[in-house]
Chains A and B, each alone.
Chain A
Amino acid sequence: MDVLGAHSLVAFAVYNPRFGSNEGEEYKKLLYYYPEDVEINEKIKTIGLCEAIVQFSRTFSRQSPARALHTQKNRHHFYEAEEHFWMVMVVKNPVVMKENSEGKSVPEYQEDVLLDSVYNAVLRQTYTMFKLFKGTFGMAMEQGGVETLKRRLQEFFSRYLLTLRLEQCDLIDTLGGISFFPLDKMTYLKIQSFISMVEFSFAHIQFTAFLYNEQLVWSGLEQDDMRTLFKYLTTSLFPSTIEAELAGKESPIHVSFPGYSQHYGRFLLGPRSLTDPNSPLRVPKIHVYIGSRHSELHLIVYKALSAAVCFLVDATVVLTLDFFQRLDTLVGPQLTLLASDIAEQYSSNRKPASSEKDSQFKFIYFNHMNLAEKSTVHVRRAANPSLVTVPTELLHILGDINSDFASSVEDEEVTVKAMSDYWVVGKRSDQRELYVILNQKNANLIEVNEEVKKLCTTQFSNIFFLD
């Protein structure tokens, strides 16, 4: 497929229809619009269209009005993030240049390529990300009214929207899972021990999250907050620091304190320098919910080798350089040791070349209960967040199967023969989903079924996953 001009963001808006219900005051409804330099009438037209579609579709289904509008060039996705607060994302369909009868090449819009489930999930996720860093819309309204909300939306989205890689979104974004790092019991308990030790040495630290290899090991935060934080860490923070590291801006070896034992720890989010009291402090605040209680926390991220730890400190606490120094002194050497422990255990436990051997298998596993996600379809490395190892056509099939699953409650199994030599199998057992891509020439249905069974027994023997 010859894709010209990958599909990308056409418009993005946040509005509240209650804010300008009088004729001529429609502009009041608008809270944020991207691109910002579009004429006001254009903006009002976009949100007006959405409002109308939603209103119209409510007639048929009060509970779940329309979520997307398909047009030849674009797709509109709608999401009511908070009561009466709507978000709209307009994505352009991919374009293929085709020769017409006169031999001229004309653009042809690929109307069926985009998946609603993927972009609805992306839209939802823009909201959760906003909520994590800026709090809810309602909170902004309470604290400073519309102007505050508008300011926060502008501050956040003007930067965040640029980081969305819409053309790379696929099933994995729909699932929005958390990748967990596999560990044995003893190492896991050691990590627990380390976390407790730090938390009780620094009473200000309310929560801790531990990651290794950009995969989660432990989260003191609740699942939903962790999901968003995980997304931020893996798609934004880690890639940016890796780039900085590659560019040689920051030395990974910590030697600024003579006399201290050398370790590899450093702050990804924290003070730029531990010796200079005037160095800039980069510690964002995040908003999380414990039960129904809202709390605002400083997000400090510390990394040694492949282990990264998030320390969440009450936002009312004033962070001093002394605090960071003490944290560094305590955590640095221990985390370095722990990280090399994990690395050793990980490399010794990994079955030799097992991942390479089964290269005819590719699979995506997702568990709705703990959001655990595992994909051999994507090669997720910080430097290039989403590298897909199979044809995009297959990802499209995966997305379709996922939509099928979403619309029913029964355990299901779907087997699809793709146009190429691939077979795609989707299985659902209770709350778990497994998508397998097989590349076997001339395989028949029975053989494919056998292969998938084999995969289940080797990879998922310790969970209750029905054949």
Chain B
Amino acid sequence: MLNKMPSPSTWVTVSVSSVSCDCLPVSAGSSMAGSEILEQESSYLELCRTPVRFEEISSVNNVFFDEANKQVFAVRAGGAVGVVVRGLDEKQPISFRLEDKGEIKSIKLSPGNRIVAVQRSGKSVDFCNLMGEATEYSQECRGRNCYVLGFCWTSPNEIVFITDQGLELYQVQAEKRSVKLIKSMGTSFVNWFVFSSEGPTLLLSLTPLGNVLQPVLAKVGNLVKLTKFEVEVPVIPKPPRLCLTEPDVTTAVIYGQLYVVVLRHRVRTTPSQAGSEVWLYHLSRDGHTCKIHVLQLNSTGCFATNVVDNLVVIHHRASKTSMVFDIQLKKVSEGPVKLHQPVLPSLPICPFTIQPRAGASLGAGTAVTTCELYSTSWIVFRPDIIMDAGLGYLWSLRLRLPRIVATLPDRLQLVDFLLLRRDCRPVLLNVCSQLLSGGQAGGLAVVSLVFDKLNSVYKEWLEADKSDAAALDGGAGGRPPTPHKPVRSHAVVDQWEMYTSVLVPFAESKTISYKFVIAVLMEYIRSLTQFHIHAQHYLYELVINTLVRNNAFYQLHQLLQYHVLSDSKKLACLMLSLESFYPPAHQLALDMLKRLSTANDEIVEVLLSKGRVLAALRFVRASGGADIMSARKFLEAASHVGDSLLFFCVFKFFEQRNQRLRNSPHFNPGEHCEPFVEYFKKLFGEDDFTPLQ
């Protein structure tokens, strides 16, 4: 039944490799049992917890899968009894009936689920609207003597027939229940095809060897041929026969780029020989295709490919393990081609337990059982789908990032790896915490490099954000920037997260020496500074508080002296509060306020609170604020000092100011200085009060 599956990406069963499968020295049964627990702990790949369940394949039930829409079709009795469509994205299954007009070869819903297309013969495709009247309409292929290999939806109402002689693009008008040819394209004999909804792109296998691939871009209403390319064949057989088959070719979108993934089998007689390889051909947007990555599998046998979170996962049936490749890491360049080794140790997927089906509560069948992994009834689809048609399960493959932390001991490699993953932030933060709690064993040098890696990504984001905001400002004329920032990548660990999740718990840990805490904090600030990222005051406060708690005032003083802890009013206030523990903090705070040059009022307040009234007056005069300052504030401060000479000076200073400003030495009633005038008279008598003329 499985050969009816419309997808090419089934388990590879090339005759040569299936032979070598059996002679591989991996004894799956015995070795698995012993190390099962260990592997269970460390497996970093898992099947999703909420698989799609469908009626398993049987004599009355046929199963189809549409990779483009990720929908699984359970077709009972040719559709007459009913078709149930379940998708990973759909909550509710779609069900409908079809007339039983013979064996169904392929069935796919249009994007949007309005029309179902069914292929029952090599000549035509039948259509049926899901809404409204259920009468079918049909379209035969145009070419004479040609055979329809398959079809694919390229838009909600456009469909491409792939025949052995070319492509035919039709528009389906559901309301009129008619189908119209828009474009046809003739080619030499087509062996098979692969469809990718990225583009959408079709890949046609041409020539008797099948190794010439013709990419075709299926734009709306048009078909565009791109440059064809040839997959090298090691030995050209005589007479020529198909050397590159459909199951060995698939497409994948990795880091936003479309690749053609070709599995190259090798027969290996001794383990020292090179194993099979996966070749990645980059299908660039300008239509040019070239081989740029080679994944070295180091083994032979049956393989199947998934792409999860931009990682290429190669499942190997014989060893029941999966290899993981990242085309951005662990590469060795060989000319234009980059050779890759697995980035992680090869491990099996996490075991999956099967819950008994709700309806089938029949005796022994109800027990919870462990699903057989890498089973022969598995079919692997793009990008991350694994189906067990025998059990009626459809999973997506997931990466368990936290598990990888233990799998990859090299922390720098680990961080490189994590930075490229989705949802990696919590794991990254966790890795940082672990690294720091390891104390000195982790090595400050490693910590330093990890900080640099994180901040490099952080800086990129800040730059992107800045240009984004600038564009927004320019375009919308000062519209406030949107609070939600969609561009932010998952790998961006900003200062606040680092501070709250890693640095604060670390700094508060009782078991770690404060010197190490300071070293780490300074290292983080150094890294930020190196990437020209403005460190926030809370980081500095953490440094200060840690130093203060350990009475390392002199070290703090030196850091401030070299302006390592950037100036801010907040920091200055913090320093003022430390004066009673460390008197020089007062001077440091004043210097800082002075440098800020926006804190003149604060400086005056600080000086007045110290009773340094003359200093405050001199400061205000020097900074040009003498004409607008409040006389009352200074007179009050001077009267509190209890030095009558000081009060006299301050009083006379303001009388002179009044004279200059208003030609009269007297205070305005609005200045509320009457009590001080009285106080002055009391101290020095009326005579001295007589103002200078």
- Mark A428-450 against chain B: 1 for CB-CB distance below 8 A, else 0: 01111000000000000000000
When C-beta atoms are compared, the residue in chain A nearest to B518 turns out to be A196
Q: Which of A262-318 contact B (CB under 8 A)?
A: 291
Report yes or no: A431 in contact with B444, Cβ–Cβ below 8 A: no
- Within the complex, the shortest CB–CB distance from A417 to chain B, in Å, comes to 24
CB atoms of A466 and B587 under 8 A apart? no
A203-B440, A466-B618, A467-B622 given; A189·B554 CB < 8 A: no
Residue pair A185, B594 in contact (C-beta under 8 Å): no
The proximity string for B residues 534-563 relative to A, scoring 1 for CB distances below 8 Å and 0 otherwise, is 000000000000000001001101100111
A337 to chain B, nearest CB (A): 15
CB pair A370 B584 closer than 8 Å: yes
Report yes or no: B525 in contact with A189, Cβ–Cβ below 8 A: yes
Residues of A within 8 A of B591 (CB): 462-464
- A463 CA / B619 CA spacing, docked (Å): 13
Q: How far is the CA of A189 from the CA of B615 in the complex (A)?
A: 35
In the complex, which residues of chain A have a beta carbon less than 8 angstroms from the beta carbon of B615?
Answer: 411, 429-430, 466
Assess the A219–B587 pair: CB atoms within 8 A. Answer: no
State the main secondary structure of chain B at its contact with A. helix
* In the assembled complex, B519 has its CB within 8 A of some CB on chain A: yes
Q: Which of B529, B554, B583, B615 has the most CB of A within 10 A?
A: B554
Interface size class of B (residues with CB under 8 A): 35 or more
Give every chain B residue within 8 A of A463 (Cβ-Cβ).
591, 594
Asked whether B529 lies within 8 Å of A466 as measured between CB atoms, the reply is no
- If A189-B522, A189-B564, A218-B558 touch, whether A197 touches B587 (CB-CB below 8 Å) is no
- Report the minimum CB–CB distance from B535 to chain A (whole Å): 10
Pick the residue among B444, B562, B595, B618 that contacts A200 (CB under 8 A). Answer: B444
Within the complex, which residue of A186, A196, A411, A462 is in contact with B522, where a contact is CB–CB below 8 Å? A196
A369 and B558 contact, CB distance less than 8 A: no
Bound Cα distance from A87 to B624, whole angstroms? 52
**Is the C-beta of B46 less than 8 angstroms from some C-beta in chain A?**
no
Does any Cβ of B come within 8 Å of A237's Cβ? no
Chain B 142-170, CB within 8 Å of chain A: the 1/0 string?
00000000000000000000000000000
Bound complex: CA of A183 vs CA of B587, how far in Å? 20
Residue A192 interfacial (CB < 8 Å): yes
| Shortest CB distance A114–B (Å) | 32
Question: Distance in Å from the Cβ of A222 to the closest Cβ of chain B?
Answer: 6
- Closest Cβ of chain A to B88, distance in Å, is 49
Query: Which of B519, B529, B564, B614 contacts A196 (CB under 8 A)?
Result: B519
Question: By the criterion CB–CB under 8 Å, are B622 and A183 in contact?
Answer: no
User: B595: nearest residue on chain A (CB-CB)?
Assistant: A462
A174-216 CB contact bits vs B (8 Å, 1 = yes)? 0000001001011011101100110110010000000000000
CA distance A222 to B584 in the complex (A): 14
A372 at the interface (CB under 8 A from B): yes
Is there an interface contact between B522 and A370, defined as CB atoms closer than 8 Å? Answer: no
Q: Nearest chain A CB to B95's CB is how many angstroms away?
A: 66
Whether B603 sits at the interface, judged by CB under 8 Å, is yes
The distance from the CB of B592 to the nearest CB of chain A, in whole angstroms, is 9
- CB neighbours (8 Å) of B561 from chain A are 180, 370, 372
A367 to B564, CA, bound (A): 19
Nearest residue, chain B, Cβ from A218: B558
Question: Is A196's CB under 8 angstroms from B523's CB?
Answer: yes
Whether B526 contacts A192 by the Cβ 8 Å rule is: yes
Given contacts A193-B522, A196-B522, A291-B551, are A185 and B593 in contact (CB under 8 A)?
Answer: no
Assess whether A223 is interfacial by the CB under 8 Å rule. Answer: yes
Q: Which residues of A contact B523 (CB under 8 A)?
A: 193, 196
**Proximity bits, B586-628, A CB within 8 Å = 1, else 0:** 0110110111000000010000000000110011001000000
Q: Cβ of B519 and Cβ of A186 under 8 Å apart?
A: no
From B519, B529, B603, B619, contact of A185 by CB (8 A): B529
Query: Quick one: given A188-B562, A369-B587, are A200 and B525 in contact (CB under 8 Å)?
Result: no
Interface string of A447-467 (1 = CB under 8 A from B): 000000000000000111011
B 204-239 binary contact with A (CB < 8 Å = 1; else 0) = 000000000000000000000000000000000000
By a CB distance below 8 angstroms, the chain B residues around A291 are: 551
List chain A residues, Cβ under 8 A from B554: 219, 221-223, 226
Count of residues in A whose CB is under 8 Å from the partner chain: 36
Q: Does B183 contact A (CB under 8 A)?
A: no
Interface string of B438-463 (1 = CB under 8 A from A): 00100111001000000000000000
CB distance from B288 to the nearest CB of A (A): 44
Is the pair A186, B555 in contact by a Cβ cutoff of 8 Å?
Answer: no
Cβ–Cβ < 8 Å partners of A372 in chain B: 561
Q: Which of B518, B557, B603 contacts A464 (CB 8 A)?
A: B603
Residues of B within 8 A of A220 (CB): 555
Of B584, B587, B614, B619, chain A has the most CB atoms within 10 Å of the CB of B587
Query: Which A residues touch B679, using CB under 8 A?
Result: none
Q: Hey, which chain B residues are within 8 Å of A432, CB to CB?
A: 587
How far is it, in angstroms, between the C-alpha of A226 and the C-alpha of B615 when the chains are bound? Answer: 32
The verdict on B530 contacting chain A, using a C-beta distance below 8 Å, is yes
B633 at the interface (CB under 8 A from A): no
B515 at the interface (CB under 8 A from A): yes
Kindly state the separation between the CA atoms of A432 and B595 in the bound complex, as whole angstroms.
17
Residues of A close to B530: CB separation below 8 A? 186, 189
A188–B525 Cα distance when bound, in Å, is: 11
Q: Determine whether the beta carbon of A466 is less than 8 Å from that of B619.
A: yes
Q: Using known A-B contacts A185-B562, A219-B558, A223-B554, determine if residue A466 contacts B445 with beta carbons closer than 8 Å.
A: no
- What residues of A have a CB within 8 angstroms of the CB of B590 in the complex? 430, 464
**Residue B137 at the A interface, CB < 8 A?**
no
Judging by beta carbons under 8 Å apart, are B563 and A185 in contact?
yes
Does B516 sit at the interface, judged by CB under 8 A? Answer: yes
B539 CB to closest chain A CB (Å) equals: 13
Do residues A190 and B526 form an inter-chain contact, with CB atoms below 8 A?
Answer: yes
The reply to whether A185 and B564 contact each other, CB–CB distance below 8 Å, is yes
Given contacts A197-B444, A370-B584, is CB(A466)–CB(B562) below 8 Å?
no
Query: A residues touching B (Cβ–Cβ < 8 Å)?
Result: 180, 183, 185-186, 188-190, 192-193, 196-197, 199-200, 203, 218-223, 226, 291, 367, 369-370, 372, 411, 429-432, 462-464, 466-467
Nearest 10 CB-CB pairs, A to B?
A196-B519, A189-B526, A369-B584, A464-B590, A464-B594, A188-B562, A463-B591, A192-B522, A223-B554, A200-B440
Apart from the given pairs A200-B440, A462-B595, A464-B590, 6 other A-B contacts in the complex at a CB distance below 8 Å? A192-B519, A199-B515, A219-B558, A372-B561, A432-B587, A464-B591
Q: Could you pull out 17 A-B pairs where Cβ atoms are within 8 angstroms?
A: A185-B563, A186-B526, A188-B562, A188-B564, A192-B564, A193-B526, A196-B519, A199-B519, A223-B554, A223-B557, A226-B554, A369-B557, A369-B583, A411-B614, A431-B584, A463-B591, A463-B594
